[in-house]
Structure 1
């Protein structure tokens, strides 16, 4: 399973495309606000390194795409330009000179999408690990979480140490009400998230289970983990 970062000017435009990606088992982060952040100079974009593919929507103007590619190409992650229409060979050559890996159809079949992405598997198993000094907080973007684990952490973090129900988490995570499947999946994700934070020497209960009510991020986590600027943008999308 791969993590995909999808830049767009209109997240609603991407719903069917996202669904196709998820049918193939990929995790997708769709962002509008992150476009402007990535165009700023001297920004720490280490969060981007957790992704395996970057897709630039057809809703983004060519001029902005060029700027984004210049900012993102240093991460050596395949960058796809999504388009409603096939890109001519000459135009594709120009895009590749800028750093675009290839183009991808806006309404592809499952098979076409699968084969396109599988042609550029370069780092799907790569995990980023940074060992912090003991006297410093660890940046959230430096903890090797999967896309879903990161999203779950941010949901809990946004509650400011207040309990959030399983029903609300299910709606925020998967946009559907809780059921046996989502509750089982959530329990597994909570365990994995706690284990990964503990493996980075985050101490305390980390995530508390409030029986009959939901989950709560322990306040001690705030003293040990810092949510950096890029991750704050992700919080704003929840």
Structure 2
């Protein structure tokens, strides 16, 4: 599963994060995303929807918890509150209008965390708006896969990187040819190869079971990366960036 810990202090989550990772979860721990939740926008909602659950650290105050939960509720299948004392648990449970799906102590054992993850998986399956991309809609003859296992060729990866880096604007066919083939220039054969590249990318993503296109096409304007596919790349890049990689290096690798 893909889990997001929102905290005031990343170092305070080291032990808990390690236990989550020991049972094969991808765990992203962030302080800046906690701040972003207070001014929730569409892009932040898209990012949150990439996770199976959000875990709110005990370093986050009661008042902040009550402000955050209504903002993120619709975007994630499960909200987990990590706490230290029974007082915290009892106080927050009295605020019944702010529903927390699961609670767990910060010093929970590996077995307790394992059971928490099973409960999250069950909750995720019930969530109508869950957008978990490791279990996205597929045909019955397809196997499960993780992020970006689409089998893109090197040229297809380069094209997607060009569109990713220019998100929000259309690139003309001529511009893309220059970026992909550089000194070779724009020729009829390159334009034809570009069209095949776009078609292949769309076919590979469609075969994966996704219900949206990775590339938006506008007649006379060219191509741009779709918002949905941009956020897929960005979410994986955020995971890797926390490990010290540069975002564009990561995006190229995961594609």
Question: So what's the TM-score if we normalise by structure 1?
Answer: 0.58
Q: Does 1:130 align with 2:212?
A: yes
Report the structure, 1 or 2, having the larger helix content. 2
Q: Output one character per residue of 1:42-68: Cα deviation in whole Å (capped at 9) or x when no partner.
A: 442201111011100000111111111
Corresponding position of 1:47: 47
Over alpha carbons, which structure has the higher Rg? 2
| Shift of residue 113, structure 1, vs aligned partner | 0.8
Alignment partners' CA distance in 1, 2:111 and 2:234: 25
Corresponding position of 1:117: 117
Number of positions where the alignment pairs a residue of Structure 1 with one of Structure 2: 163
Corresponding position of 1:7: 6
| Shift of residue 117, structure 1, vs aligned partner | 2.1
**Cα 1:4/1:141, change in 2 over 3 Å:** farther
Contact 1:4 1:28 in 2 (8 A): yes
Please list, as runs of the form range in 1=range in 2, the aligned pairs for 1:61-76 lying within 5 A after superposition.
61-76=61-76
Alignment partners' CA distance in 1, 2:120 and 2:239: 25
Q: Secondary structure at the match of 2:4?
A: strand
Alignment partners' CA distance in 1, 2:230 and 2:135: 13
Q: Output one character per residue of 1:107-156: Cα deviation in whole Å (capped at 9) or x when no partner.
A: 11000111122123124653375324123233476454696665347934
- Bigger RCO of structures 1 and 2 (CA < 8 A, at least 6 apart): 1
Q: What stretches of structure 1 of length at least 5 have no aligned partner?
A: 160-168, 170-188, 195-238
For the aligned residue pairs, the C-alpha RMSD in angstroms reads 3.1
**Cα 1:56/1:88, change in 2 over 3 Å:** closer
Contact 1:130 1:142 in 2 (8 A): no
Q: What stretches of structure 2 of length at least 5 have no aligned partner?
A: 126-131, 137-209, 218-222
**Runs in 1 of length 4+ with deviation above 6 angstroms?**
none
Alignment partners' CA distance in 2, 1:88 and 1:143: 35
Q: Output one character per residue of 1:209-233: Cα deviation in whole Å (capped at 9) or x when no partner.
A: xxxxxxxxxxxxxxxxxxxxxxxxx
Question: So what's the TM-score if we normalise by structure 2?
Answer: 0.55
